[in-house]
Amino acid sequence: MKNRMIFKAALVGLTVALGTTQVPQTAMAQNLRVVKNGASSSLKVPMSRAVVVESESPFAELSIANPAIADISSLSDRSIYVLGKSPGTTTLTLLDAQGSLIANVDVVVAADVTEFKERLRQILPGEKIEVRTANDGIVLSGTVSSAAKLASALSLAERYAPERVSNLMKVGGVQQVMLKVRFAEMQRNVSKSLSSSLSLNGNSGGLTMNGGSNTTNTSGGVATALGGNIPSVNENNGAMLFGFGVGSVEVGVLLEALESKGVVRTLAEPNLTALSGQEAKFLAGGEYPVPVSQDNGAITVDFKPFGVELNFVPRVVDGDLINLELKAAVSALDSSNGYSTDAFTIDAFRRRETSTTVEMRDGESFAIAGLLQDDFVDLNSQVPWLGDIPILGALFRSAEYQRSQSELVIIVTAHLVTPTRGEALALPTDRIKPPSEKDLFLFGRVSRDGSRKLKGAAGEVARQDFSGSYGYVME
């Protein structure tokens, strides 16, 4: 019984011993390279790692051309231990006991990218990225699906080869962005005013009396039977003069009323396409000359742009995710706030602009700016004390009321676009053709006869029915 237990323990120990000795043999076999007699071969050695080389025949002498690139030592008369030290290429020479050449081996030492490839597959699965070594650096090539994944691959490569990474990768997918911007502005103005003027004119016993209240410039007006007059220049929509006489005294009353309402609507929809990462600019308007005085007294002209302006830089971040760096502005000339001198007049500018950075997906929209402005002015002027008299005090008062409202909204929409064939695009001028001499002079037509059929996309647009209501409706 005791002998059986000793025999079983011996078997277990033998099994464990065989198992432990088998692992290093397998690991060594993975790094083993066989060199054949009389043949030139190449040996790749990772930097800071070692490879065991086995020769077919025993050697007596070893030499390495550049010990700074690789270091060697003999394990036996057939085995060589090669250690990679720095990136480069050198030559390993094997000689036999008679001094004859056994083989020349080109030893190529490069950075170890095995671990880097594995990490790259784990972090960016499915990406077609090829990794190669070049001297002491890493070369990345292939196609990635987005710019964000390209940046991730470069960042990981910098961990293994700092400042020695060459990027030959390309970003696949759509990389052109069309930006559609809508500027919508509504301005409403209401103005009301009511004023009255009282005049007296009389002559009694050599005493002349002439006066009034709230009087305006009446020179050059239309004379009336009362001796008063209505101003020749009057911005009010309603002006009425009436009066009566008491003996030699004439009393005149001038009533002026104004009520005005106005609505202004501004709408612009610029569209612009740019490549990812490139800036695009758009200006629909003009340039206004502004004189500028120099230090030497000379006058130069500086041109200021106005109209609809759009500058943006699109970046396709990941798939259909778009990052937009945007500047948009709408400006117009404002003569009411200009500057005038004896020599020239300079108009002011009314400008609404925004500058922002947003992120959206293909086809999504953002309201990037909004403005709601409400201005209110109420003015009441009167003759002191007399204007406070009930009922009759209205003859000595004038009131003005003004209110201005402005509302502005800027909405942007981004689309990923690809080019198309020119025949598929229609122009606004496709449906209108210049008239021939016969159509113009004989029939008085300002465009060519529409019975002629257009081909392609232009013909498709021409066949559309534009009858009925179309365009923009404002309620």
pLDDT tier, 35 (very low <50, low <70, confident <90, very high otherwise): low
Is-contact 79 61, C-beta < 8 A?
no
Q: Give the CATH number for residue 160.
A: 3.30.1340.30
Query: d(Cα 466, Cα 447) in Å, to the nearest integer?
Result: 17
Residue 39 clears pLDDT 80, i.e. is over it: no
Q: Is 88 left (phi over 0), alpha (psi -120 to 50) or beta?
A: left
Do 68 and 122 fall into the same domain?
no
Residue 94 falls inside a structural domain: yes
Number of domains within the chain: 3
Residue that terminates a domain, selected from 148, 171, 194: 171
Q: Where does 96-135 show beta strands of DSSP type E? A: 101-110, 128-134
Residue that terminates a domain, selected from 139, 171, 203: 171
Q: Distance of CA 94 to CAs 46, 60, 67, 333, Å?
A: 21, 8, 15, 88
DSSP 460: H
Residue 163, both tokens: 């400042």
51-75 pLDDT, tens digit each? 888 888 888 888 899 888 889 888 8
- Dihedral sign, CA of 24, 30, 33, 34? positive
Query: What pLDDT is recorded for position 30?
Result: 39
- DSSP H/E element including 220: none
Do 140 and 104 fall into the same domain?
no
Residue 179, both tokens: 């930006």
Query: d(Cα 219, Cα 216) in Å, to the nearest integer?
Result: 9
Query: What pLDDT is recorded for position 325?
Result: 92
Nearest to 45 by CA among 120, 133, 119: 133
The stretch 351-366 carries a mean pLDDT of: 89
The stretch 99-106 carries a mean pLDDT of: 85
Residue 253 falls inside a structural domain: no
Residue 410 falls inside a structural domain: no
The stretch 239-247 carries a mean pLDDT of: 69
pLDDT tier, 313 (very low <50, low <70, confident <90, very high otherwise): very high
Query: What pLDDT is recorded for position 228?
Result: 45
Query: What pLDDT is recorded for position 254?
Result: 73
Phi, psi of 9 (to 5 degrees): -65, -35
Residue 255 clears pLDDT 80, i.e. is over it: no
Q: Which residue has the higher pLDDT, 429 or 231?
A: 429
Query: d(Cα 143, Cα 124) in Å, to the nearest integer?
Result: 12
What's the one-letter identity of residue 343?
A
Angle at 105 between CA 102 and CA 108, to 5 degrees: 170
What's the one-letter identity of residue 201?
N
Query: Which range (84-93, 214-223, 276-285, 366-375) has the least confidence?
Result: 214-223
Residue 130 clears pLDDT 70, i.e. is over it: yes
Specify the residue for token string 């071969």: 41
Residue 57 falls inside a structural domain: yes
Do 100 and 54 fall into the same domain?
yes
Residue 222, both tokens: 């239309």
Query: d(Cα 261, Cα 242) in Å, to the nearest integer?
Result: 28
Query: Which range (8-22, 92-106, 302-316) has the least confidence?
Result: 8-22
The stretch 264-278 carries a mean pLDDT of: 84
Residue 14 clears pLDDT 80, i.e. is over it: no
Q: Which residue has the higher pLDDT, 352 or 452?
A: 352
Query: What pLDDT is recorded for position 215?
Result: 45
Residue 15 clears pLDDT 50, i.e. is over it: no
Residue 162, both tokens: 């700092």
Q: Is 270 left (phi over 0), alpha (psi -120 to 50) or beta?
A: beta
Do 99 and 151 fall into the same domain?
no
**Domain containing 456: what range?**
422-474
DSSP string across 49-70? -EEEEEESS--SEEEES-TTTE
The stretch 360-384 carries a mean pLDDT of: 85
Query: d(Cα 87, Cα 68) in Å, to the nearest integer?
Result: 9
Residue 188, both tokens: 């409403």
Q: Find which of 162-166, 199-203, 243-247 is predicted with most confidence, using mean pLDDT.
A: 162-166
Query: What pLDDT is recorded for position 397?
Result: 79
Angle at 24 between CA 19 and CA 28, to 5 degrees: 145
- DSSP H/E element including 117: helix 114-123
Query: d(Cα 158, Cα 163) in Å, to the nearest integer?
Result: 6
Residue 256, both tokens: 């002026």
Q: Global pTM?
A: 0.55
Specify the residue for token string 């090539």: 141
177-196 pLDDT, tens digit each? 999 988 888 888 888 887 77
Query: What pLDDT is recorded for position 5?
Result: 47
Residue 226 clears pLDDT 70, i.e. is over it: no
Query: What pLDDT is recorded for position 134?
Result: 77
Q: Which residue has the higher pLDDT, 133 or 247?
A: 133
Work out the percent of the chain whose per-residue pLDDT is above 90.
4
Q: Is 86 left (phi over 0), alpha (psi -120 to 50) or beta?
A: beta
Residue 84 falls inside a structural domain: yes
Query: What pLDDT is recorded for position 357?
Result: 92
Residue 12 clears pLDDT 50, i.e. is over it: no
Query: What pLDDT is recorded for position 456?
Result: 60
Query: d(Cα 84, Cα 62) in Å, to the nearest integer?
Result: 16
3-state secondary structure 379-418: EEEECCCHHHCCCHHHHHEEEEEEEEEEEEEEEEEEEEEC
Query: d(Cα 423, Cα 455) in Å, to the nearest integer?
Result: 9
The stretch 117-135 carries a mean pLDDT of: 84
Residue 336 falls inside a structural domain: no
Query: Which range (128-142, 236-250, 269-283, 437-451) has the least confidence?
Result: 236-250
Q: Which residue has the higher pLDDT, 449 or 289?
A: 289
DSSP string across 135-189? TTEEEEEEEES-HHHHHHHHHHHHHHSTT-EEEEEEE-S--EEEEEEEEEEEEEE
Q: Find which of 214-218, 267-271, 391-395, 452-456 is predicted with most confidence, using mean pLDDT.
A: 267-271
Query: d(Cα 161, Cα 113) in Å, to the nearest integer?
Result: 10
Query: What pLDDT is recorded for position 105?
Result: 86
Q: Which residues of 410-440 are buried (b: 16+ CB within 10 A; e: fewer)?
A: bbbbbbbeeeeeeeeebeeebbeeebeeebe
Nearest to 322 by CA among 390, 416, 207: 416
Residue 198 falls inside a structural domain: no
The stretch 246-270 carries a mean pLDDT of: 75
Q: Give the CATH number for residue 55.
A: 2.60.40.1080
Phi, psi of 17 (to 5 degrees): -65, -45
The stretch 334-360 carries a mean pLDDT of: 84
Query: What pLDDT is recorded for position 449?
Result: 59
Do 147 and 160 fall into the same domain?
yes
Q: Which residue has the higher pLDDT, 236 or 284?
A: 284
Residue that terminates a domain, selected from 89, 110, 131: 110
Q: What is the mean pLDDT of the chain?
A: 75
Query: What pLDDT is recorded for position 333?
Result: 86
Strand partners, 315: 323
Nearest to 60 by CA among 34, 105, 97: 97
Residue 212 falls inside a structural domain: no
Residue 470, both tokens: 């179309």
Query: What pLDDT is recorded for position 191?
Result: 84
Q: Which residue has the higher pLDDT, 175 or 242?
A: 175
Residue 234 clears pLDDT 70, i.e. is over it: no
Q: Distance of CA 120 to CAs 125, 159, 221, Å?
A: 8, 12, 91
In this structure, the dihedral spanned by the alpha carbons of residues 14, 19, 25 and 26, taken in order and rounded to 10 degrees, is 160
Q: Which residue has the higher pLDDT, 13 or 162?
A: 162
